[in-house]
Structure 1
Amino acid sequence: MTDLSGELLSANRRSNWIRLRTFIALRWIAIAGQIVALLVAQFGFGLVLEYGLCYLAVGISVIGNLVAIFVFPENKLLTESENRYMLLFDVLQLGFLLFLTGGLHNPFAFLVVAPVTIAASVLSLRSAVTLAALAVIIVTALLEFHLPLRTQNFFILQVSDVFLFGNWAAIVIAISFSSFYSRQVVTEMSSMAEALAATQMALAREQKLTDLGGVVAAAAHELGTPLATIKLASAELFEELDDRPDLREDAALIREQTDRCRDILRSMGRAGKDDLHLRKAPLSTVIEEAAEPHMDRGKQIIFDHFEIVDGPEILRRPEIIHGLRNLIQNAVDFARENVWVETEWDETSIYLRILDDGPGYPPHLIGRIGDPFMRHRKPEKERKKRPGYEGMGLGLFIAKTLLERSGAEISFANGSKVIEEGRFTTARSGAVVEVIWPRQKIEANLNLDLVGSGENPVHQTQA
């Protein structure tokens, strides 16, 4: 998941999401606006400009659009380099038009911010910074190098130096701010979208495993009676064939293979089943099922409060099991020796805490735990301590999302911060995750419509 998610969240992948038709449509809008502005300047205000060169610049944009329409397929997705060249052309074309029409004295000079903002949204950081720097250079050059705006009486239209510098500063600030703001928003949306997709994939996988276990368990249940009948018949044949050693051996073989089939189906059905009775389970059973894959990883997982009572019966839902499994995995990854799973319940709520004796969460990340953020690559020493773990934050994000979907509230803290409250011992000074469910959200007796009642459904198959 780490490598795949890193690829999905990269800017290079985002740049491949832009269709050529999108750029063509935006450029037609820009071309129409430029032509209208030139016509109004020429016939409305009678400004004296180099209209031949101006229309040439607009014509090049028209030719570029026509070539893109007739040469490339309509649904073409642009690559990183193609996006970069498209936006580079737009910046240069707009800069040339501003040079012909008064530079920063032209009120439309602010439009140079548009292609830079788009670049910050879709290009890699290096390409976006390069394009923004080029735009700043062009705007700075236009302070001194431009053809003046003249009226019919050859009166030069220009603003004072103070306003001219203000225009330059406003454009440079707008390029910097809009680029940063746009990139941050798009990156956040992209990360969240991909993380939610990963969450859905994890839930679908857990649901598929549950369903597969249900099919196997249903098969074991349905085959139990005929297998018992075969075993009984073969046992009777075995007793009655004392005088036929060859047939007696066959009867013994049938009985042995019947026992083998029963054991195979029983072991395959242990993963779970779509049985009405196993849509609910005691709290202890659900937690131990979630922790089972991490029981033999060299760390001791200690379950508190299960010695006397198993806890209330809750819904055995895939999102609860997978979410708790991710939280326990994270605790086992960082623990030195022990992980504790504590549970409490009262009339209104069910409380679950997962603690470890590891180093705890980095203090500067406490507020961001549960967000799908990318971490920098870990140093070699840290990778040796936790081989194969890159730590993108997706595991905790998936756990948090799935458990909140079940109605839980989740909080993260370090045990060292709350030892003085008397809730934990000094050994439990690592990370602490607390999950709180309202009982009406997950208690089986309060959700009979989700648990079901009566006989198990009969699954029919087509021949």
Structure 2
Amino acid sequence: MSNQRDIIAQSASFRPERADWLRLRTLIFQRWMASFGQLAALVVATRYYGMQLPLGLCFLAVGLAIIANLLSIFLFPQNKRLSETEAMLTLLFDLAQLCFLLFLTGGLTNPFALLVLAPVTVSASALALRSTLIIGAMAAGFVTLIGLFNVPLRLADGRIFQIPGLFTFGFWLSLLIGIAFLGLYSRRVATEMRSMSDALLATQMALAREQKLTDLGGVVAAAAHELGTPLATIKLISSEMIDELADHPDLAEDARLIREQANRCRDILRSMGKAGKDDLLLRQAPLATVLQEAAEPHMARGIEVIFSMAGSGPPPVVLRRPELIHGLRNLVQNAVDFARSKVWVDAQFTPEHITLRIIDDGEGFPAQVLGRIGDPFVRSRRDEQDLDRRPEYEGMGLGLFIAKTLLERTGAELSFANAADPFLSPEERPARSGAIVEVTWQAADIVAETAGGLGENQLFDQ
């Protein structure tokens, strides 16, 4: 459990703040495009359509955007990333500049008023909720103001360009709905993408940690094997020295100390790992052994973990991959966390398939999140009983997401269900009444090839 929280904390430390993902150069480029588009629209409206516009003020509005871009280019480096406040102020400036230009060119009778949605969409995608609400509220306020107060458009003959009031109201209302809808939609999509990115980062870190632990076990095994011979030699020579130094008690005592320390080194190495180099036995193991290894960290937490094996033929020998160990360990941890007293780990195997079911006797998955289990950062409301039982539990669904992602990398298919109807009374509930996680593999995906023997152990890469 602490390992999972460490991974979450470490992955969070690698993530920049949300606004720090937004580069100033991106907004500068966007502003250049807007400025050239505004200039082109002014030229086309006056030269080809003969519309009478306050060109002095219009060019002043466009010039403000150009000056802001030039200042940004000369004052800040190209790789400048904006803070939350800087990004919000930059987008507010763009919004105010656009609305000022719309005020000078007919307000909501100008079809380019639709571009008011752009700063809101950028904010919803890249900034925090508070900044997005501020920019959205300002956009709605500006749209309302330019709808009520604006410099009307005049055609070439001096007539004021007018549209029906109902159309103006409809355009105003559609802009307000667009601000709310696009802001909400963009933020929801961006939030899900960020959540998935964060969860995948945590998954990669979990896999890297498991791989390091596996490699460390191999290194320890190699050290135990390689040091066994010199330690045995030291022990033999020290024993002979003790016999030969019977007449010299001080030297004999030193020889005994050497032998004791050699025995101590042997015991330490023996406790740290089994003999071997890059031991091929570490790369594959019987299915029951792999299940025991995955569950071992959670078998001393007061919950009984019961294993069962059933199938045709001898139990399979599977590839002992880090993804497999860590994924199964997370599933067992989740079952132990929510079990009352027992967890069942049932394995069934045939020559074609291997199926694993992990069942607990707890309350099962919450009905409101059952369909979303396996997605990252799925939260559910926790009652006081759950808080007392799991005060450290974050409730984000990240552990199940990591387990699902890692196991799917081994070719597994996962399904989640509840073993019993949650509305049954305690007396009516069966023993296996909690959550069920079923993991199914094609045997060819994880079963090790053992027909030709393991082969010779290989030295570790230097």
Q: Confirm or deny a common fold (TM above 0.5).
A: yes
The corresponding residue for 1:191 is 195
> Using a 3 Å threshold, how does the CA distance of structure 1 residues 447 and 111 change in structure 2: closer, same or farther?
farther
Q: Could you say which residue in structure 2 is the equivalent of 1:456?
A: 457
Counterparts of 1:142 and 1:419 in 2: how far apart (Å)? Answer: 58
* 1:235 corresponds to 2:239: yes
Is residue 441 of structure 1 aligned with residue 445 of structure 2? Answer: yes
Distance 1:9 1:225 in 2: 45
**Mapped contact 1:279–1:315 kept (Cα < 8 A):** yes
- Confirm or deny that 1:4 pairs with 2:34: no
Contact 1:213 1:271 in 2 (8 A): no
**Which residue does the alignment assign to 1:256?**
260
Listed as ranges, the matches of 1:290-301 within 5 Å are 290-301=294-305
1:213–1:273 Cα contact (<8 Å) kept: no
CA contact (8 A) 2:224 2:275 kept: no
Cα deviation, residue 457, structure 1: 1.6
8 Å contact 2:380–2:395 — kept in the other structure?
no
Q: Check the 8 A contact 1:212/1:273 in 2, yes or no.
A: no
Give the corresponding residue for 2:32.
Answer: 28
Match in the other structure for 1:412: 416
2:363 is equivalent to residue 359 of structure 1:
yes
Post-superposition shift, 1:191? 0.7
CA deviations on 1:389-411 (whole Å, 9 max, x unpaired) are 21211111000000000011111
Change (3 A) 1:197 1:28: same
How far apart in 1 are the matches of 2:293 and 2:44? 74
Structure 1 partner of 2:376? 372
- Write the letter of the residue equivalent to 1:116: V
**Distance in 2 separating the partners of 1:64 and 1:198:** 40
Return the alpha-carbon distance in structure 2 between the equivalents of residues 104 and 271 of structure 1. 80
Using the alignment, how far apart are the partners of 2:244 and 2:423 within structure 1? 73
Task: Indicate the SS of the match to 2:273.
Answer: helix
TM-score when scaled to structure 1?
0.91
Matches within 5 A, 1:171-186: 171-186=175-190
Give the unaligned 5+ runs of structure 2. Answer: none
Q: Which of the residues 128, 142, 147 maps onto 2:151? A: 147
Q: What is the Cα deviation at residue 158 of structure 1?
A: 2.3
Partner of 2:99: 95
The alignment-based identity, stated in percent, is 59
Q: Distance in 1 between matches of 2:271 and 2:313?
A: 27
Query: In structure 2, how many angstroms separate the alpha carbons of the residues matched to 1:9 and 1:138?
Result: 38
- 2:402 pairs, out of 389, 398, 410, with 398
For residue 445 of structure 1, what is the amino acid of its counterpart? Answer: E
- Find the partner of 1:60 among 64, 86, 89: 64
1:122-148 Cα distance to aligned partner (Å, 9 max, x none): 111122122112212222222221111
Which shifted more, 99-108 or 223-232?
223-232
> 1:224-373 residue pairs with structure 2 within 5 A?
224-269=228-273, 274-305=278-309, 311-373=315-377
Structure 1 pair 271/52, CA: closer, same or farther in 2 (3 Å)? farther
8 A Cα contact 1:7 1:13, kept in partner: no
**Matched residues in 1 for 2:414 and 2:450: separation?**
22
* Residue matched to 1:215: 219
Task: Tell me which residue corresponds to 1:428.
Answer: 432
Question: Judging changes above 3 Å, is the alpha-carbon distance between structure 1 residues 310 and 242 closer, same or farther for their aligned structure 2 residues?
Answer: farther
CA distance in 2, matches of 1:378, 1:447: 51
Measured after TM superposition, the shift of residue 9 of structure 1 is 11
Please say which of residues 132-141 and 216-225 is displaced more in the overlay. Answer: 132-141
AA matched with 1:163: F
1:72 — aligned with what? 76
Secondary structure of the residue that 1:304 maps to in structure 2? Answer: strand
The whole-number CA distance in structure 1 between the counterparts of 2:203 and 2:461 is 31
- In the other structure, the counterpart of 1:169 is 173
Shift of 1:460: 6.7
TM-score normalised per structure 2: 0.91
Task: Give the drift of 1:453.
Answer: 4.2
Higher alpha-carbon deviation: 240-249 or 253-262: 240-249
String of CA shifts for 1:70-100, please: whole Å, max 9, x gaps: 1112211100111111111111111111111
Conservation of the 8 A alpha-carbon contact between 1:419 and 1:426: no
CA deviation after TM superposition for structure 1 residue 245, in Å: 2.5
Between the aligned partners of 2:215 and 2:274, the Cα distance in structure 1 is 13
Tell me which amino acid in the other structure corresponds to 2:412.
A
Tell me how large the CA RMSD over aligned residues is: 2.7
Decide whether the 8 Å contact of 2:294 with 2:326 is kept in 1: yes
Secondary structure of 2:17 counterpart = helix
